[in-house]
Amino acid sequence: MTNLLSGEPTVVTAGAELFTDALTAQAAAVTPVAWQPPAGSPEALARVMADPRRTTANATALERMLAAGATLVDVRPASEVVGLAAGQFRHAGPPISWERASGPMRGALMGAAIFEGLASSADEAERLLSGGSAEWAPCHEAGGVGPMAGVVSPSMWVFVLRDEAHDRTSWCSLNEGLGKVLRYGAYGPEVIDRLRWMSAVLGPALQAAVREHGPIDVKGIIAQMVQMGDEGHNRNRAGTLMLLRDLLPAMIDAGVASSDVASVARFVGGNDHFFLNLVMPACKLQTAAASGIPGSTVVTTMARNGTDFGIQVSGTGDQWFTGPANTPQGLFLGSYGPEDANPDIGDSAITETAGIGGFAMASAPAIVRFVGGTVSDALRTSREMYGITTGENAAYALPILDFRGAATGIDVTKVVRSGVLPQINTGMAGRVAGVGQVGAGLVTPPMECFTGALEALGEAAPPLA
Amino acid sequence: MTNLLSGEPTVVTAGAELFTDALTAQAAAVTPVAWQPPAGSPEALARVMADPRRTTANATALERMLAAGATLVDVRPASEVVGLAAGQFRHAGPPISWERASGPMRGALMGAAIFEGLASSADEAERLLSGGSAEWAPCHEAGGVGPMAGVVSPSMWVFVLRDEAHDRTSWCSLNEGLGKVLRYGAYGPEVIDRLRWMSAVLGPALQAAVREHGPIDVKGIIAQMVQMGDEGHNRNRAGTLMLLRDLLPAMIDAGVASSDVASVARFVGGNDHFFLNLVMPACKLQTAAASGIPGSTVVTTMARNGTDFGIQVSGTGDQWFTGPANTPQGLFLGSYGPEDANPDIGDSAITETAGIGGFAMASAPAIVRFVGGTVSDALRTSREMYGITTGENAAYALPILDFRGAATGIDVTKVVRSGVLPQINTGMAGRVAGVGQVGAGLVTPPMECFTGALEALGEAAPPLA
């Protein structure tokens, strides 16, 4: 104590800048620490942190995520796989009404209605959809996922993936490519024509190839692609090429017509994002394996419908915690600019939920040319994500981080305590229905998804003594 | 001066440790600087450094290297492309006699003689080759390149590449895969059978595909692959997949039998190194463009025959400067160990001569799992190579180094002055003929290649005033 009074004081300030400023004005040396109080209810956080089930539940959640497999076992129409009937659709993100739906979500639903022959024009499709004679529900609620608007209708074909470790199936639509495509809200004739070719030629050819080949280890391909400059969300170039390598010989052996093999090879080979629609259901299988563990604070879904961002958490099962979706910041195609971008949309944030995508940017430094930012940002972001996750996935080793496993299992308590939000890489849809893609960029969920989840987790936790 | 005597001295020592040790023993603070005198003849270095042509000549060499293109234009038998007749062979590295040839070089020549029907057993082949009734010369001396032993015989098919900017052609054999293969010195029946299939099926199918497709931009694929975890020497996985993507639809359109398309797709898709044999001639075109510029100290060839390491330098044309090849340090296959490895062999160091391979390891951190070392070594090595090169190749941008262009144009004067040798990634052949590959690792050329070149450059430089 004597020393304290006689020597020069060492002053550390935390949080509010008032103290720092006052000391600095008096020429006193001060070390400010960036700190902010945890987000959300302190009572809920206290209950959740004290929940005796939490540590074990999160360890179990992580263990299941890491044990989950993902093999492509079939390609079939959504009518069969998802059980959709005429006039029924699936879509990305949490539930949404027509009134609250964004432009790209409306555009994709309209295009799907035209594709299914329920309407012959955009106006007619809009009347049908706004009039209450069609129905739609989240892909996630049927165990599947869809990128961007994520609209799936009965005649579209879907990839079928299996996690044998947990006896679970997932599915995802086939990727259409970039630009004017349904999932970005475009519904013009070229969109519908492409969807018809995908159902008539692409789907059946892929089905024949997969059945000839036998199950394809999608998890194994993801492990390779994160060593090849892909992060699995906005870069899927190596993954697409590896899929093509595995499927084409089998497609030929299966007796698919040579001209169809060539057109499928050109379509898939010309679309670096094709494999995204296999990464997504693989990630869904991984996160679904961790769902429904009482007391677990691990996030099992992050998904957006273009209006709301929604998350689901292991300990609270299928309940959605939503907040208004942010608009991504990034790079724009052609003459598009920030005013053209719709808020965040798509189930593709399942990649970050599983530890890749924005979480694995360090392994895909070239991504910054597509989504913006710098290479050092990409490295910093990947490192930062270890602070809000439960563990690491050795199966997805990031070479540039000395083969450290991908940061896996976002923990609601770590997000609210640190204020660090999960980093998502994403495509940007035009906010007006019919426009299509306008760019790609970076975005985070709104904090209220996590504070909402915390509240519910707190209510489900045992009361404090 | 007064200050110098009255204050504490600041002592910096350079080179010899004697001074550092003596001062340290007297408790004086000392800052040692790692320094060594330049390698080779000081007189030669002085003349070369003072050569008034040097700066411009090296700028021209770099400019030509960066301007060189590389397109795959055809696939044809070596008899036609290289003009080989029965009993004539091409091989890797500088010229070598049978007596001085290493095990893998002898094994590959023996296998090629059996493949060509000149001998029906290893013994017979050995008698033929040691008896003086066959002839062989370096691939490089016919404008081509060959990995490892690099042995090419008339019936083997080769890739034909063009640099239209400088109206130059290069060529390289087709890659056989890993393990027991001719280029690693194996010559058993499975090696010969594979070579027969490659000449009967693979070569013609690739020819049909390339002719149907039209020229394939190999330089463009290399630019992509260095963004996809390949360094173009020991990792060519993404490059191989991109080649397959481009060629397969054209192979189908060209009417190649479906069963052959499927077998070619499996062979190429199952060999991550297949594209190496396109990277190498592309690099040869790049460095050949810089050859023969009087006064230039830029290295245009680094090549090894398993006994000697040889380099060629722009200002001295086709003259070889050789030294004994080092043995790579790295990782071994199966139960093989360091005692099984042959000294450095192959023309594949043309990749480092062109700025990729070991020079681009930073972009391929996963390579350390194949050649040994750590990720930070890989980053450090790539950065260090900028110190011994003339410029950077923006076409081959390395994302993790903030898209810095590959270090290009090794300068003999920078190597001898710094003592830093070019870093080469390489495969390791078994030292006994017939064994095949035993591992992969890292190696450098012997310094005497560079001091020898310096001597010749000095003789060709104007005398000092």
Distance CA B57, CA B63 (A): 10
Q: Mind listing the pLDDT tens digit for each residue in B297-339?
A: 999 999 999 999 999 999 999 999 999 999 999 999 999 999 9
Average pLDDT over residues B359-372: 92
Number of domains in chain A: 3
Cβ atoms of A384 and A420 closer than 8 Å: yes
Residue A454 token pair: 């915390």
A128 CB neighbour count, 10 Å cutoff = 18
Q: Give the closest of B262, B366, B403 to A399, CB-based.
A: B366
Least confident of A20-24, A194-198, B288-292: A20-24
B122/chain A closest Cα distance in angstroms: 36
Please tell me whether residues A382 and A299 are part of one structural domain: yes
Please tell me whether residues B444 and B361 are part of one structural domain: yes
Average pLDDT over residues B107-121: 98
Q: Give the closest of B238, B262, B403 to A249, CB-based.
A: B262
Instruction: Tell whether pTM > 0.80.
Output: yes
Q: In this structure, what DSSP letter does residue B229 have? A: T
What pLDDT is attached to residue A2? 63
Q: What ipTM was reported for this prediction? A: 0.92
Q: Is residue A448 part of a domain?
A: yes
Residue of A nearest to B257 (CA): A258
What pLDDT is attached to residue A111? 98
Please tell me whether residues B302 and B267 are part of one structural domain: no
User: B443, B448, B447: which is closest to B428 by C-alpha?
Assistant: B443
Please tell me whether residues B221 and B265 are part of one structural domain: yes
Cβ atoms of B108 and B102 closer than 8 Å: no
Q: Where a domain ends, among B264, B281, B298?
A: B281
Q: Give the closest of B229, B241, B375 to A229, CB-based.
A: B229
Q: Where a domain ends, among B252, B281, B310?
A: B281
What pLDDT is attached to residue A13? 87
Residue A302 banded pLDDT, cuts 50, 70, 90: very high
Q: Is residue B465 part of a domain?
A: no
Average pLDDT over residues A289-293: 98
Please tell me whether residues B22 and B117 are part of one structural domain: no
Distance CA A289, CA A162 (A): 12
- Judge: A242–B244 Cβ closer than 8 Å, yes or no: no
Predicted confidence (pLDDT) at residue B2 exceeds the cutoff of 70: no
Residues of A in contact with B249 (CB under 8 A): 261-263, 265-266, 269
Selected residue with higher pLDDT from B97 and B178: B97
What pLDDT is attached to residue B370? 87
Please tell me whether residues A381 and A440 are part of one structural domain: yes
Q: Does A377 touch chain B (CB under 8 A)?
A: no
Q: Does B253 touch chain A (CB under 8 A)?
A: yes
What pLDDT is attached to residue A162? 98
What pLDDT is attached to residue A28? 85
Q: Does B261 touch chain A (CB under 8 A)?
A: yes
What pLDDT is attached to residue B23? 87
What pLDDT is attached to residue A23? 87
Predicted confidence (pLDDT) at residue A1 exceeds the cutoff of 70: no
Predicted confidence (pLDDT) at residue A27 exceeds the cutoff of 90: no
Coil, strand or helix at A215? coil
What pLDDT is attached to residue B73? 98
Q: Hey, what amino acid is at A125?
A: A
User: A301, A328, A355: which is closest to A440 by C-alpha?
Assistant: A328
Distance CA A435, CA A429 (A): 8
Query: B163 Cβ partners below 8 Å, 6+ apart?
Result: B68, B69, B70, B169, B170, B285, B286, B288, B289
Q: Tell me, rounded to whole angstroms, the distance of Cα A145 from its chain centroid.
A: 9
Predicted confidence (pLDDT) at residue A95 exceeds the cutoff of 70: yes
Query: B220 Cβ partners below 8 Å, 6+ apart?
Result: none
Q: Is residue B179 part of a domain?
A: yes
Q: Is residue B432 part of a domain?
A: yes
Please tell me whether residues B297 and B381 are part of one structural domain: yes
Average pLDDT over residues A208-232: 98
Q: Is residue A465 part of a domain?
A: no
What pLDDT is attached to residue B9? 77
Percentages helix, strand, coil for chain B (3-state, rounded to 5) are 45, 20, 35
What pLDDT is attached to residue A12? 87
Domain that holds residue B434: 42-57+290-460
Q: Is residue A270 part of a domain?
A: yes
What pLDDT is attached to residue A202? 98
Q: Hey, what amino acid is at A454?
A: L
Residues of A in contact with B227 (CB under 8 A): 229, 366
Cβ atoms of A199 and A116 closer than 8 Å: no
Residue B57 banded pLDDT, cuts 50, 70, 90: very high
Please tell me whether residues B252 and B328 are part of one structural domain: no
Please tell me whether residues B406 and B262 are part of one structural domain: no
Q: Mind listing the pLDDT tens digit for each residue in B369-397?
A: 888 889 999 999 999 999 999 999 999 99
CATH number at residue A95: 3.90.1710.10
User: B433, B360, B359, B443: which is closest to B399 by C-alpha?
Assistant: B360
Q: Where a domain ends, among A281, A310, A333?
A: A281
- The alpha-carbon radius of gyration of chain B (Å, integer) is 23
Give the residues across from B305 on adjacent strands: B345
What average pLDDT does the structure give for chain B? 95
Name the percent of chain A lying above pLDDT 90: 89
Q: Does B223 touch chain A (CB under 8 A)?
A: no
Q: Give the closest of B238, B253, B266 to A241, CB-based.
A: B238
Q: Mind listing the pLDDT tens digit for each residue in A118-130?
A: 999 999 999 999 9
Environment class of A215 (CB within 10 Å of its CB; exposed 0-12, middle 13-18, buried 19+): middle
Predicted confidence (pLDDT) at residue A362 exceeds the cutoff of 70: yes
Helices (H), ranges, B34-149: 42-50, 54-67, 78-81, 103-115, 122-130
Residues of A in contact with B260 (CB under 8 A): none
User: B369, B395, B399: which is closest to B382 by C-alpha?
Assistant: B399
Q: Give the closest of B227, B241, B258 to A252, CB-based.
A: B258
Q: Does A246 touch chain B (CB under 8 A)?
A: yes
What pLDDT is attached to residue B12? 87
Average pLDDT over residues A170-183: 95
Q: Mind listing the pLDDT tens digit for each residue in B235-292?
A: 999 999 999 999 999 999 999 999 999 999 999 999 999 999 999 999 999 999 999 9
- Judge: A229–B399 Cβ closer than 8 Å, yes or no: yes
Please tell me whether residues B273 and B339 are part of one structural domain: no
Mutate to test the interface with B, among A225, A230, A248 (most CBs of B within 10 A): A248
Chain A / chain B CB contacts < 8 angstroms: 96
Distance CA A280, CA A287 (A): 11
Please tell me whether residues A155 and A85 are part of one structural domain: yes
Q: In this structure, what DSSP letter does residue A394 have? A: E
CATH number at residue B298: 3.90.1700.10
Average pLDDT over residues B33-40: 87
Selected residue with higher pLDDT from B83 and A464: B83
Average pLDDT over residues A141-153: 98
Q: Mind listing the pLDDT tens digit for each residue in B122-148?
A: 999 999 999 988 999 999 999 999 999
Please tell me whether residues B6 and B97 are part of one structural domain: no
Least confident of A300-304, B139-143, B366-370: B366-370
Name the percent of chain A lying above pLDDT 70: 99
Distance CA B15, CA B35 (A): 5
Q: Mind listing the pLDDT tens digit for each residue in B214-229?
A: 999 999 999 999 999 9
Average pLDDT over residues A299-305: 98
Q: Is residue B297 part of a domain?
A: yes
Average pLDDT over residues B333-359: 96
Average pLDDT over residues A390-406: 97
Predicted confidence (pLDDT) at residue A385 exceeds the cutoff of 70: yes
